[in-house]
A and B are shown apart, each in its own frame.
Chain A
């Protein structure tokens, strides 16, 4: 695509597309947008490993692929191990891995495949220090199997196996802080990102590319199907998740925490603003909302303290 010169100057995101039209994502899918940004950031010299998740379907069935990059579809729990093996092979064969001119090995997995069944392989990948990037796109449930709760599902959420009902059988546990578990591995770089802030996400991807060793990015990716939200509200929701401090943007780099909020001085918006656009939270009682609000603020305070002390 030819871009007029005056426009080019204002583009902060690579114009090149390596994620093809014709993929099979739902309307308003945050994950597919995230994948598109990853491909923009890393280009075609990338090897993806994608486990069982929506992206298996989004990339397309044999003999198709929506990715202009090499892709290995793998078993649900193996993303960390497979990218470790790919990286090892590249090194054995003398390829340059990571860095600006190296091959990027990318694990791209959902929250179920990362926080639950894939946690062990993720841990192994992180502690062994492979030169690869693991991106967990977080849509807060098993969306590909039809919206079942994962350990990344937030308190009070409706899913098909936390349906509410007269017994109020909603998700009762707080969202698992996967990023904290990742950071506990003492890796060089970990960050959160959101599809509502693509410049920030791409900057983080580029950073992960340059820093040797394993990197981890937890990408907030709304799912209109599973969240029971309008398909044109995905970006707004992803933005509200950040503005309410429900999903704060931050980086962890060599022991230092840095919060990357668009407006750091503002107090977080009330959590209701994030909740009210989504059908999955409509069964929450006032008390439920308060419980979730308290958790969000508590975690936010913790993060601010971390940034203050280890900034």
Chain B
């Protein structure tokens, strides 16, 4: 079948809901939280309109139970999906470990929202990045198209390596902003993402299994190692799946870090999610002004694209890491990770951390330009002014 995209103008949240529908999810267990709600409302609408078959919708009483129900469903062999945000994701935290530990390929959309207090419903990556060590893969979407594509790819990767995956989009900047999304006809989605074939399920009564039993010191260690092996395997699978997606639908995701005009760049801006759209636009403006700059968008934060970062870092003089998040007592989380990767290599560009846009603070092309000026000066001087720059701080 020849691929003819179906163009719809949808919000990021609706893009997520359509992707879940097209992935033929079998169980959706979810709890409402702003700004995630329109994802689960849209899925309920699909059911109400008779647009989906064999989809069980479980309106649970908390996010903790949303993840627990998805875990039960996935262990019973179903393709399970949920969505959440900020406080809800934090409430799920315990069960995120359960999902990865039980090796269940659940896919969840997290709408990045700042953690309270003070209450905030706006964009901030600290909620999802605080789940860094739960054994979940994490894909950060730049725009609504990537939300849609990300969910479909996440299922395929997750079900290949038997680990859960999170697709992350920005609160309001994507979740509630409408844009054209090229959707894939159902037949072709089915071709790309066939029904799930679990290795083990709770429905084989002749060969009963016990999942999640006690693991003593003689075994636990190896279980952890196997999760890491799966994460490592995921690096390969992600690239393959991303390439296949590109071949089938024209949008290539074979790079875990998307490089934009970095070939001859003196320095690059590195970051994740919607803010990288702004950065790419700024790169174009800066290039016209004579700056040799590029953008490096980290698509997959877990597994972390170590090799790709090294290849990039080898060829630039500086990296401005833009973190819409913060790890208190240390620095921006992406900055922290990136520096850690490069320590034992021969690639040591000047790296500076810009903390930007926390709690939904606007981040504009002008901001990128100012950061470019600062980076240029640092590189010329050959030394940092400050390592971690709270860029937006009212001084």
Contacts and interface: CB of A to CB of B under 8 A. Distances in A.
Nearest to A91: B56
A67 interface: yes
B190 interface: no
A181 interface: no
A88 B58 contact: yes
Given A62-B213, A95-B203, A75 B68 contact: yes
Contacts of B102: 72
A65 B77 contact: no
Nearest to A56: B214
B64 A128 contact: no
Interface stretch (A76-84, A236-244, A299-307): A76-84
A88 B209 CA distance: 19
B166 interface: no
Given A61-B215, A62-B219, A44 B78 contact: no
Contacts of B66: 81
Interface residues of B, number: 44
A71 interface: yes
A64 B214 CA distance: 9
B160 interface: no
B157 interface: no
Contacts of B69: 81-82, 84-85, 88
Contacts of A45: 205
A89 B26 contact: yes
Contacts of B80: 85, 89
Given A62-B219, A124-B60, A82 B202 contact: no
Contacts of B210: 59-60, 62, 64-65, 67, 70-73
Nearest to B65: A81
A116 to B, nearest CB: 15
Contacts of A35: none
Contacts of B27: 85, 88-89, 92
B350 to A, nearest CB: 45
A124 B30 CA distance: 12
Contacts of A90: 76, 203
A72 B58 contact: no
Contacts of B62: 120-121, 124
Contacts of A82: 68-69, 71-72
A123 B94 CA distance: 20
A274 B43 CA distance: 55
A57 interface: yes
B298 interface: no
Contacts of A56: 213-214
B95 A72 contact: no
A75 B216 CA distance: 17
A292 interface: no
Contacts of B72: 49, 72, 74, 81-86, 88-89
A92 B56 contact: yes
A231 interface: no
B98 interface: yes
A89 B78 contact: yes
Contacts of A128: 58-60
Contacts of B256: none
B113 to A, nearest CB: 23
B84 to A, nearest CB: 14
A114 to B, nearest CB: 14
B54 interface: yes
Which of B69, B70, B98, B209 counts the most chain A CB atoms within 10 A? Answer: B69
Interface of B: 26-27, 29, 54-56, 58-62, 64-66, 68-78, 80, 94-95, 98, 102, 202-205, 208-216, 219
13 contacts: A56-B213, A68-B208, A73-B213, A75-B94, A82-B71, A85-B74, A86-B202, A89-B56, A93-B26, A93-B77, A93-B203, A121-B61, A124-B60
Interface of A: 44-45, 47, 49, 56-57, 59-65, 67-75, 77-78, 80-86, 88-95, 103, 120-121, 123-124, 127-128
Given A85-B72, A89-B75, 8 more contacts: A45-B205, A60-B214, A70-B209, A78-B95, A82-B72, A86-B202, A92-B55, A121-B65
